[in-house]
Amino acid sequence: MNQPLYGVYGASGCGRGIMPLARAQISATGTSLDRLVFIDDKPRPEPLNGHCVYSYAEFLAIPASKRHVVIAIANSVVRESIAERLEQDVVTPWTVAATNVVVMDDVQIGEGAALSPFVTLTSNIRIGRHFHANLYSYVEHDCIIGDFVTFAPGVKCNGNVVIEDYAYIGAGAVIKQGRPGAPLVIGRGAVIGMGAVVTKSVPQNVTVVGNPARVLVK
């Protein structure tokens, strides 16, 4: 009988950071580690960090009872296009989380999340599909996070914040707490620069940088 097959889609730095978490997760189930592979547009004949690297077509050709994939690509638009392809091919989105992720009370997380070590999610939080939370990021109480949102390392998202779909929050950014009924909103597709301190809502599809964060004029 064929066993399930697991893939980390993306063999760059993001994928190599997620792979050890994926390895620990399936090891706990007793699944053989040769059933865990990288998927990449540039497959290679030799293993990477102990795992084979296949093209997506090669991954689909491997006999399996079921296929599970976590998408390790930081770009939200690319992540969404891959997610759509996986859905068409009946590949199950796979949530991968470090063993020391802290999830407190009434936290709902959509499919396909990647939660790195030392991430903390406190209480009354709603998170959409294919969320990336990198090292030492946190989400405080009463936050709503959309689909395909990316947190780089060290993001501090304080309470009563709404982050809309496709937003990218740069390393070390701090998002000020909103108010009940009047959340601080990070607009759809917005980019928060590395180390930015966000003190007010950010419009859709703009980049903000600095302390306090201001729209970047190119």
Indicate whether 167 pLDDT > 70: yes
pLDDT in tens, 72-104: 999 999 999 999 999 999 999 999 999 999 999
The average pLDDT across 39-52 equals 94
Class of domain 97-212: mainly beta
* Catalytic annotation, pick one of 68, 130, 132, 141: 141
29 confidence band (pLDDT: 50, 70, 90): confident
Residues sharing a CB contact under 8 Å with residue 143, sequence separation 6 or more, in sequence order: 125, 126, 157, 159, 160, 161, 162, 163, 183
CATH dotted code for 5-94: 3.40.50.20
The average pLDDT across 32-40 equals 96
Indicate whether 197 pLDDT > 70: yes
Indicate whether 162 pLDDT > 90: yes
Indicate whether 16 pLDDT > 80: yes
pLDDT in tens, 107-120: 999 999 999 999 99
The average pLDDT across 30-34 equals 91
CB 165 within 8 A of CB 146: yes
Q: Give residue 136's pLDDT.
A: 98
Instruction: Show me where the domains of the chain are located.
Output: 5-94, 97-212
- Which residue has 């976590």 as its token pair? 70
2 confidence band (pLDDT: 50, 70, 90): confident
Give bridge partners of residue 44 from the DSSP assignment. Answer: 53
Query: In which region does residue 202 sit, left (phi positive, over 0), alpha (psi from -120 to 50) or beta (all else)?
Result: beta
What is the C-alpha to C-alpha distance for residues 82 and 93, in angstroms, rounded to an integer? 11
3-state SS, 171-216, equals: CCCEECCCECCECEEECCCCEECCCCEECCCECCCCEEECCCCEEC
Residues above pLDDT 90, as percent of the chain: 94
Q: Do domains 5-94 and 97-212 have the same CATH topology?
A: no
Active site residue 130: no
pLDDT in tens, 124-140: 999 999 999 999 999 99
**What mean pLDDT is reported for the chain?**
96
Residues above pLDDT 70, as percent of the chain: 99
pLDDT in tens, 180-189: 999 999 999 9
